[in-house]
Structure 1
Amino acid sequence: MKQLARGLLLGALIWGTSTAHAATTIETTGFSLAWTESSAHPLDMQLLSDTDGLVRIAMSVGALGERWDTNTHGDGGIGNAADHLLTAIVLQGYRITSMTLSAVVNGSMYLETRGCNMCETTPGTTANSSTLNWSILRGGEHAVLPTAYASQVDGTLAISSTAHMPLEGPFLLALGAENTVAASSSVQLVWDGWDWQQYTLQATAAVDLSDVVLSVQVTPVPEPSTYAMLLAGLGMVAWTARRRAA
C-alpha cells in the first residue's frame, strides 16, 4: 500500500513537471519513463519496441559532435556535455531485471606527414573520446552504473554498458553524455642548404555520439496468492505420491 501511495505521489509530481516543462514521456507495458530536467534542452525519446519483455528506447542526448583543426584553431581542444534526469515508475506486478545503455561513436584523427631528407620533427598528437554515464537514485541511495566509454576512435565503434539490478516502483535515472577532442601539430625543421625552415603540419580530431538506445528487460512478478497456490499444489502432489507409495 505504501509503495502504491509513493507511486501515485511521484506520478503527480511527474504530471506537474510535464505541464511546466513539456517533458517527453514513454509509456510501456511494464513501466513509464519521463524526462524531468536537463542541463541543456529537453531529452527527446522514442519508443522503438516493446516486445516479449524487452523495451528499446531511442534517446537524443544532446551532446554535440566536436572537431578541432590546428590549421584553423592552432593547438588545443574542446568538449561539451549534456546531463539529464528522468523519472521512472515500474508498474505494479512488474520488475526491471536489467538495463543496457548503448551508442555508436563516429571518430576521425588525422596527422599530416611530409617527407624530408635533412629535418628534425616534433611529433603532433590527436585525441578524441565519447562517454555515456548513468546512475540510479532510489530511496536516498545513489548507485553509479558502469560507464560506456571510447577513445582514440578512427572510424565507427559501438559502445555499451549493462546493469543487472532488480528495480520495482519509482526511481530516478541520471544520464550524461560527453564528447571531447584535442589536436597539436607536428613541427618540422628542414635544412634547405642555407638555413633551417620551419613548417607546421595539420592535425585534426573529430568525434560524434549517435544512436543512443536504452534497452530495458522487464518481467512480470507473480502475486503472493500465486505463490501460495503453487505451494499448495506442490504439497498436494507430494501428499498424493506418499499415499500411492504406502
Structure 2
Amino acid sequence: MRVEIWSDIACPWCYVGKARFGKALASFPHREQVEVVHRSFELDPGRAKDDVQPVIPMLVKKYGMSEAQAEAAQDNLSAQAAAEGLAFSAQGRDSGNTFDMHRLLHFAREQGRQTELLDLLYKANFAEERSVFNDDERLVGLAAEAGLDTDAVRKVLADPEAYADEVRADEREAAQLGVRGVPFFVLDRTYGVSGAQPAEVFAQALNQAWGDRPPLRMAGGDAEACGPDGCAVPQE
C-alpha cells in the first residue's frame, strides 16, 4: 500500500500531522508493506527567496491577526506539538520560501533519504534558532546529517531548475486531486485524509484502505514454479 503525503516545511500542522501519522503507522500490523512518499506543496509559492520574515509579524500581516492573537496561535501549536513529543519554538522563528527545500527532498528521495531529510528540516524550522530560509549552507549541513553527499547537494542548490519540474508536478497533481490545504494524505489513491488528524483517525484509515484493496486477479493457468517444497519438474 502506498501513502502519499502532501506537505510544506513551513506548515506547523504538517509537522504535527506527520508525527501523528507516524504513531498510527507504527502500530499498523502491515506497516512493513506500506510505502510512504512525501509530495511537495508550497503554502506561499510566489514568495521571493530572499523574503524572510519573523513568523509573528508575517501572521499579523497575512491573516489580519492582532499580535496577541498570533502569539496565542503559536502557543497553541506549541502545546499540540509537545503532546506528540515534538519540540516547538513559539517565538523567534522565521518564515520564507520553501521551494529549494522541496527540490532537495526530491533529490533525497532518489537517494533513499527523503524521510530523514524531512524530519531534520521540520526540526530545524520549528525547534531550532537558526533559520532554514535563504541559507544554502544551512541546508547543506542538514542534508549531510541526513546522509546525503554535500557536493551533490550543493550542485542541486546551485541549479534552480534541478528537481523543479518534480516539485511543480506534485503541486499540479495536488490541484487535480482538489487539495487546498496541507497536510493531505492519500492512501492507495482511494482514500484521502485532510489535516493533522488524531492518530486514531489515521489508524482507522490505514485499516480501511488495507481491507478494501481488491483481491489479486490471476492471469493464465498454473505453470511450473518453485515453492517451499522445491521446484516443479516437468514430466515426460
Q: Same fold (TM over 0.5)?
A: no
Q: Which has the higher strand share?
A: 1
When the two structures are superposed, what TM-score results if normalisation uses the length of structure 2?
0.24
When the two structures are superposed, what TM-score results if normalisation uses the length of structure 1?
0.23
Q: Which has the larger radius of gyration?
A: 1
